[in-house]
A and B are shown apart, each in its own frame.
Chain A
Amino acid sequence: MAEQQAPEVERQLSDKYKYGFVTDIESEKAAKGLSEDTVRFISAKKSEPEWMLEWRLKAFRRWKEMEEPTWAKVHYPKIDFQNAYYYSEPKQKKKLDSLDDVDPDLLETYKKLGIPLQEQKLLANVAVDAVFDSVSVVTTFKAKLAESGVIFCPISEAVQNHPELVKKYLGSVVPITDNYYATLNSAVFSDGSFVFIPKGVRCPMELSTYFRINEAETGQFERTLIIAEEGSYVSYLEGCTAPMRSEHQLHAAVVELVTLDDAEIKYSTVQNWYPGDAEGRGGIYNFVTKRGACRGARSKISWTQVETGSAITWKYPSCVLMGDNSVGEFYSIAITNNYQQADTGTKMIHLGKGTTSRVIAKGISAGKSNSTYRGLVSMHPKADGARNYTQCDSLLIGGDCGAHTVPYIESRNPTATVEHEATTSKISEDQLFYARARGIGEEEAVALIVNGFVRDVMQQLPMEFAVEAQKLVSISLEGSVG
């Protein structure tokens, strides 16, 4: 069952990517390959109603007619979509009632990952939904959340228990025709989190989902849907890890956020999928569609991301600012090392009056990696008085990497203001010398300077995540100097 890992690869990397282990858990998989039968299999597995299956099939038929996008500044061999598993679920003896019933191997895995699933030991006030391969294995604090009317559950459960909400909002922000990977996700998504914050409720704790790919040759296609009704607030955290393998694995997720009047969603991601080894072997292809719709007046969606993992990242968390005076934010740190490639950024679509957006993107490239910021700010004719401020800074470490900035600014409203600034430079020799002269080792000094460079974004992260993210920054850059 366990993947045959090339032993030398494992040895070389085990100290750098501590999440690279494989858990030997029995799993049940769909047959390899992708066809209407695969889609039907997944749907049947989830005992989905007919409308959900139809929705998936519609997406699948559409996907077959689409072509893979090639515009991003990333290079990889063509993906063989038939040579992968689209569904894998950890085998469980019976339906879970409490954490005690969870497979101890699974619990051990999450323990190793440092994710507190055991409520009694929990110090941090965070409710966790853990997604293992294709299936959500456990959601904590459900009862406490239910008291305030918050729904936090696997999306497969929401399809069963809250079909009216799923029908209303699923695909309403990222339609099934949106793009190649989002359409694929719509056809084969297996699980993910569903969050509903009712009118006027401030979610009593941070919500968090931990995604783990364990199985080999398996694609992960999770789907997240968060709805914040009028005047509500939620902060949602997302973390991702995967074992080290010498072949690539596909991760194509879709995240949809909806805020109504005066609501706010704060969405934070620490993306640490396995990045591949120093020679560029293995690693996750992270092709993700994330989009939020500020439907209500004065509503707000804030994306914060720390992207250190994945062999290839292709991701543009966006905000559609429909409600008057709504606010969109995007704070991003993208670190690439070795042969990693990241093409990431945001789209801020200003439709409503007085809408504002702020984009702070920090890219760090080291080794032989390439990092691209790609972003769109669009001011529509009705976006009177709208404003955007964008700042993209890139830092290069070493002469073999690349840093690129591709912003698109489209303004069709004379009262809208767009400001964009971008800089690219290397680590300042003076700063490095200053640190070195005080007895700080070179790698440590670089980590220190880089952490200073990304500080504006780090400050946006919830505290628990910020600590982890700072460590990640240092780890990701190991071996990049000297």
Chain B
Amino acid sequence: MSPKELNRAPEQSWLDAFDAAANDLPGEWLADTRRDAINVFREKGLPQRRLEDWKYTDLRRVLGSDLPLAVIAKGEGADPLAAIKGPRIHLTNGFFESADAMPKGVEVVSLSQALVGQVDWVRKALGSAPRPEGHPMLALNTALMRDGAAIRIVKGTALAEPIVIVHEGQAGRQLVRNLIVMEEGAEATIIEAHSGSTDAQQVQQTSEILVGDNAKLTHIRLQDAGASSVHLATDLVGIGRDALYDGFIVTTGGELARQESHIEFQGEGAEARISGTYLLSSKQHADVTTRINHAVPRCTSREVFKGVITDEARGVFQGKIVVAKDAQKTDGHQLNKTLLLSPKAEIDTKPELEIYADDVKCSHGATTGQINEDHLFYLRARGIDEATARGLLIHSFISEVMAEVKDDAIRAALEAHVTAWLASHAGIREVAA
């Protein structure tokens, strides 16, 4: 059945929102782009299970509910990763609220201001990140994007401290577009922390991330959105010659969440790492979808995602590595492991390889199951009580992936978050390091 034959009510609220807001959206020069984008969305409709990429995550139900567009609000000082030092950018309800003073070689502007004013580098970079074609949610974001943070790390700049973007969601539909431009040889760590109120909200964030030749970007995201949030974060990453993109994502928040990473190699000799963990409880639904596009030869990708799922929560992992016809000497590896802790927990995983070049080394692995009984027995035989033994094993399961975070201070802050989650949701007492 084509989307046209479906009931169109869920889409209509978005089309109406666009019509109502069209004249107030920032950047007159973008009007045609926005109109084209809403037409793509009109044609495709909200993603539903009959589309292969959305087989396990249906947005029609959750995004159909009528919720007004978010309004500008004042933040209440959320900062879930306060332990990490570095200048802050505050986005509240999807609007750029404030930014600390930035070190030399860093430019930060609010996207809405940049769209209205003449910020050449923003105009040049916006819409230039590689992207999947005909993606309905991306189209919706382009049509309705209102604000966000645009960050530029000037050529050759190496930052000593990370930049932290603090996202605080309060209510309504928040359509955020971020832009991260790493110029040639620049080195930076950018951390995003999402949190918010328990009010109903729909966050749709798209980040365009351009990593220039020889540049290095470490990109960390903690997604701990409010319990009634729909949280969609889509990262579009282009990686230049000999450059590195090192992404890490911790997902604990939201009622329904989907993290999409589309990574494309644009120059030879580059490397991408994308890893993370999803910790889900109650009736949460979280989806991690990654696509790594080896479009050019001699690039390396490495991907490790591990999850712990309890109660009636459901996890989804869809990882795809595509190797283009001439992308010889590609090295691509992917691993997904999930622990199910309760009888009603569910994991759906789909690790995919699509390979058109012969001189490659590609692999993927996936496991699902419970704690290994042999390991448990080993610990119990040494006099460790069952709860502690389970705690140790789950901790060690997650520790393997946490080790992908290279910076000690950042890893410690993320581990504190993970440990707190395990204590309150999996009944696991804190384990001394």
- Same complex origin of A and B: yes
CB closest residue in chain A, given B310: A414
Once bound together, how far apart are the Cα atoms of A403 and B338, in whole Å? 26
Does B74 lie at the interface of the complex (its beta carbon under 8 Å from any beta carbon of A)? no
The residues of B that contact A381 with a CB separation of less than 8 Å are 343-344
Which residues of chain B from 330 to 344 have a CB within 8 Å of any chain A CB? 338, 340-344
User: How extensive is the interface on chain A, given as a class?
Assistant: 35 or more
Partner of B349, one of A404, A409, A413, A424: A409
The CA-CA distance from A379 to B347 in the complex, in Å, is 10
Quick one: closest A residue to B367, CB to CB? A419
Q: Which of B344, B347, B357, B369 contacts A399 (CB 8 A)?
A: B357
In the complex, chain A residues 356-413 whose Cβ is within 8 Å of any chain B Cβ: 379, 381, 394, 396-413
Q: Are B358 and A404 within 8 A (Cβ)?
A: no
A419-437 interface bits toward B, Cβ cutoff 8 Å, 1 = contact, 0 = none? 1111111100000000000
**In contact, A422 and B340 (Cβ under 8 angstroms):** no
> Would you call B325 and A406 a contact (CB within 8 A)?
no
How far apart are the CA atoms of A402 and B367 in the complex, in Å?
26
| Residues of chain A lying within 8 A (CB to CB) of residue B359 | 399, 426
Whole-angstrom distance between the alpha carbons of A416 and B344 in the complex?
Answer: 12
Chain B contacts with A in 124-138, Cβ cutoff 8 A: none
B residues 350-366 in Cβ contact with A at 8 Å: 350-366
Is the CB of A418 closer than 8 A to any CB of chain B?
yes
Choose one: A400, A413, A426; the contact of B325 (CB below 8 Å).
A400
Contacts of B362 in A (CB 8 A): 423-425
Asked if B348 is an interface residue, CB under 8 A from chain A, the answer is yes
A423 CA to B362 CA in the complex, in Å? 6
Residue numbers in B under 8 Å from A404 (CB-CB) = 352-355
Asked if B52 lies at the interface with its beta carbon under 8 angstroms from chain A, I say yes
CB nearest to B316 among chain A residues: A410
Please measure, in the bound complex, the distance between the C-alpha atom of A399 and the C-alpha atom of B326, giving whole angstroms. Answer: 8
Q: Which B residue's beta carbon lies closest to that of A366?
A: B358
Most buried by A among B326, B341, B357, B368: B368
B358 touches A399 (CB 8 A): yes
Q: Answer yes or no: B345 CB below 8 A from chain A CBs.
A: yes
Bound CA–CA A416/B368 (angstroms): 8
On whether the beta carbons of B345 and A414 are closer than 8 Å, the reply is yes
- Measured CB to CB, the closest approach of chain A to B126, in angstroms, equals 34
B346 interfacial by beta-carbon distance below 8 Å: yes
User: Is B370 positioned at the interface, with any CB of A under 8 Å from its CB?
Assistant: yes
Any chain A CB within 8 A of the CB of B251? no
Whether A421 and B340, one on each chain, are in contact in the complex, defined by CB atoms closer than 8 angstroms, is: no
| A13→B357 CA distance, assembly (Å) | 27
Within 8 A of B (CB), among A50-103: 71
Known contacts A400-B325, A414-B343, A409 near B368 by CB under 8 Å: yes
For B360, give its contact among A400, A409, A413, A425 (CB under 8 Å): A425
One of B326, B342, B343, B355 near A403 (C-beta < 8 A): B355
Chain B residue at smallest Cβ distance from A400 = B325
Look across to chain A and name the residue whose beta carbon is closest to the beta carbon of B55: A408
Complex: how many Å from CA A167 to CA B342? 42
Whether the pair B368, A411 counts as a contact (CB closer than 8 A) is: yes
Distance between B142 CB and nearest chain A CB, rounded to angstroms: 28
Is there an interface contact between B363 and A422, defined as CB atoms closer than 8 Å? yes
A401–B349 Cα gap in the complex (Å)? 26
Kindly list chain A residues whose C-beta atoms are within 8 Å of the C-beta of B351.
405, 407, 420, 422
**Chain B: which residue is nearest A398 at the CB level?**
B358
Proximity bits, B55-79, A CB within 8 Å = 1, else 0:
0000000000000000000000000
CB-CB under 8 A for A409 and B348, given A421-B365, A425-B361, A425-B362: yes
CA of A287 to CA of B262, assembled, Å: 34
For this complex, 27 residue pairs linking A to B, each with C-beta atoms less than 8 Å apart, are A381-B344, A396-B357, A398-B358, A399-B357, A399-B359, A401-B356, A404-B353, A404-B354, A405-B351, A405-B352, A406-B350, A407-B352, A409-B366, A410-B346, A411-B340, A412-B344, A413-B340, A415-B369, A417-B369, A418-B366, A418-B367, A419-B367, A420-B365, A423-B363, A425-B361, A426-B358, A426-B359
Identify 11 new A-B residue pairs, CB closer than 8 A, beyond the known A404-B355, A415-B370, A417-B370. A394-B355, A398-B358, A399-B325, A405-B351, A407-B352, A408-B349, A409-B348, A410-B346, A412-B345, A423-B362, A424-B362
Give 4 closest A-B pairs by Cβ, nearest first. A414-B340, A417-B369, A396-B358, A405-B353
